[in-house]
A and B are shown apart, each in its own frame.
Chain A
């Protein structure tokens, strides 16, 4: 079943520093899942819709999207809106990760159907916890065994 397959994390983040930090912290938090990083909204939509440069991609299992809001070309909120507006992709969990703590924007994102809204600078313990909970919900999170962590 698809459920048994490990989740793929799509990280939509244009700042390479932020992306790197997220990867590090996810890893430190114990996630071994594949993290694919795209740097703008259009790429994200292409990836999800198997279009553009990702036209030939083969879906490898359930997807979790970590989405920045301030993105070149198409911004994060619009990406979120389109994901949630499309029935095929509407169920994909989306974690919004942004520098804005504007309540209106937070509200807007939740209205559009984001799962979690995290404000940068990220308190990574909380962030990882949120990702884990979503993963548990999806039951697709690949968790390192203890010995593997040690080895790492």
Chain B
């Protein structure tokens, strides 16, 4: 069992006290006995003295009597008389001393008849001597001569000697006893004294320490309470109110007056429900909150009303306060004024609603614009498609008939070289034919071919946006190898080298992707630098994995060591009808536009890094996983065609 500090101190001091009491009693007892023994010694010594005196008086009496007997003179009898009195006194004194000494008492009892007998003999002789002056002497001498007196005297001396001896033994014994008692007391005082002293000092120190600790604890408690009080009073934004079990206000913090709008004396002792508006009180809201709080804790936001009638929106937390046995003692009510926050919330809600409505409006507008753009895009594409077709019809005639013209020229030539034609006329005719007609026909044919290519490109472009893709996982490596194979003739003609690295698979339309790489490779082959051997590398770019945005992609690159493209040229590269090196190769300037359109329909990206005469690298981001593919008439597609087509 663990003892409390107080209990320990009590027990400690109790033990020390008991020990001291025991010691004190023991010392007292010892001392008592010592005193007793000392008293006995004094009595013994007195007895010895008195016995000596007694014997001396007996001798005096006998001597004095003999002197009287011999002289008969009365004056010699005076010492005898005095000795008789002294003997009687000594005997009385001895009796007194013998009261606590049985041995002495017995010895005195035995002595007394002998003394009496001796005194009687002495007295009888004196009487005889006094009664008859002559005969009295004789008779007195006779009586002395009987030796009775002498025998008594001897007996008395012997008895006194015995008694003295006995008394001296007793005194020695008592002295020894007293010494023993004194020794004990001495040891007790010298040994137990310091021990008790140490015990008391130790006890005092422990008690002092304990009390100090208690004092510190009590002071800390006071400080803590003060601090807590300061803390509670220092709280500005919360009204903290203590309620009793019935909901009456017991106490509150300083901020309560301001927040709740009552003076302390107006509120303390009153029901807390007075902080609530009348309609809530009538509806039983405060009582219900108290009931709820009794079950645990009640937090609610309700209207409160101040004494001046103004209202505020309050956050209220009611918490039950139970004693150690779990019995309800009261409640704490913490109130916060949330009016401003409520207003701010309302404002935010309002703003949110407004914003949402505006976003909705804007979204709707965007959707409408998108739809419009998509519509316009489709119209554009249809227009391009229609125009291309309408252009192609006359073009077919131009082409066909220019060829006919050429054939006709050849026939005419044959005619002119035939015999029968005047040589002058024939020569003139041939000059017209060769220099004018055939040359013209050839120009027409070249122009027609070019126009035809343009129309083809426009048609392809208009179709690129409309054709439905077959979305699937595409082995890009295989596709690129096939494309490179299809360029076999051109590659060997240009004496170029094409290397294809591993590209992996992407998600897309195989035909469209084929076209992308066909265009890029075609481009690279077209614009190789004439002064060095062409080298084209196709593979994954170092930044092969791209994850920006939601769609995982790979980045391919087509790198050549050809003519390269100046910076302003790079910007125009992907726009319609841009040809940067018209002298280097024939083309319509539509290939990269188409390529870009396809890549963007794949949710990819295409761009170029190049330096004039330093070769070009085309990068293509392509998705590796299925994604929500844009429809054929997607807005992003639209921009390109409507802006450039």
Contact = CB atoms under 8 A, between A and B. Distances in A.
A126 B404 CA distance: 16
Given A21-B401, A21-B404, A70-B389, A15 B396 contact: yes
A142 to B, nearest CB: 23
Nearest to A97: B396
B389 A99 contact: yes
A17 B404 contact: no
Interface in A23-66: 24
B400 interface: yes
Given A99-B392, A101-B459, A102-B459, A17 B401 contact: yes
Contacts of B400: 17-18, 21, 121-122
B459 A121 contact: no
Interface in B397-416: 397, 399-401, 403-404
Contact of B397 (A18, A102, A103): A18
Interface string B382-400: 0000000100111111011
A3 interface: no
Interface string B595-621: 000000000000000000000000000
Contact of B396 (A17, A24, A104): A17
A4 interface: no
Contacts of B396: 15, 17-18, 21, 99, 120-122
A128 to B, nearest CB: 13
A49 to B, nearest CB: 27
A100 interface: yes
A121 B389 contact: no
Contacts of A104: 467
A21 B463 contact: no
B467 A15 contact: no
Interface string A116-143: 0000111010000000000000000000
Nearest to B397: A17
Contacts of B389: 70, 99-100
Main secondary structure of the interface of A (DSSP, over half): loop
Given A15-B397, A21-B404, A101 B467 contact: no
Nearest to A70: B389
Contacts of A15: 393, 396-397
Contacts of B467: 103-104
A21 B459 contact: no
Given A17-B396, A18-B393, A102-B459, A121 B404 contact: no
A88 B498 CA distance: 55
A104 B400 CA distance: 26
A101 B455 CA distance: 11
Interface in B426-478: 448, 452, 456, 459, 463, 467
A17 B404 CA distance: 11
Contacts of A21: 396-397, 400-401, 404
A121 B399 contact: yes
B452 to A, nearest CB: 6
Contacts of B401: 17, 21
Nearest to B404: A24
A101 B448 CA distance: 17
Contacts of A100: 389, 459
Interface core residue of B389, B395, B396, B467 (most chain A CB under 10 Å): B396
Contacts of A99: 389, 392-393, 396
Contacts of B452: 121
A13 to B, nearest CB: 10
Nearest to A16: B397
Nearest to A68: B393
Nearest to B395: A121
Nearest to B407: A28
Interface in A62-105: 70, 99-104
Given A15-B397, A101-B459, A102-B463, A120 B392 contact: yes
Contacts of B392: 99, 120-121
Interface string B238-264: 000000000000000000000000000
Contacts of A120: 392, 396
Nearest to A69: B389
Contacts of B395: 121
A24 B405 CA distance: 12
B442 to A, nearest CB: 16
B458 to A, nearest CB: 12
B205 to A, nearest CB: 110
Interface in B357-404: 389, 392-397, 399-401, 403-404
A104 B468 CA distance: 10
Contacts of A122: 396, 400
A101 B388 CA distance: 12
A34 to B, nearest CB: 22
A15 B400 CA distance: 12
Nearest to A100: B389
A104 B392 CA distance: 19
Nearest to A103: B467
A99 B395 CA distance: 10
Nearest to A104: B467
Contacts of A124: 403
Contacts of A24: 404
Interface string B549-570: 0000000000000000000000
A70 B397 CA distance: 15
Contacts of B456: 101
A54 to B, nearest CB: 26
23 contacts: A15-B393, A15-B396, A17-B397, A17-B400, A18-B393, A18-B396, A18-B397, A18-B400, A21-B401, A21-B404, A70-B393, A100-B459, A101-B456, A102-B463, A103-B467, A120-B392, A120-B396, A121-B392, A121-B396, A121-B448, A121-B452, A122-B396, A122-B400
Given A21-B397, A99-B393, A121-B399, 12 more contacts: A15-B396, A17-B397, A18-B393, A18-B396, A100-B389, A101-B456, A121-B392, A121-B395, A121-B396, A121-B400, A121-B448, A124-B403
Interface of B: 389, 392-397, 399-401, 403-404, 448, 452, 456, 459, 463, 467
Top 10 nearest A-B pairs (CB, nearest first) are A17-B397, A21-B400, A99-B392, A121-B399, A120-B396, A121-B396, A99-B389, A15-B393, A18-B396, A102-B463
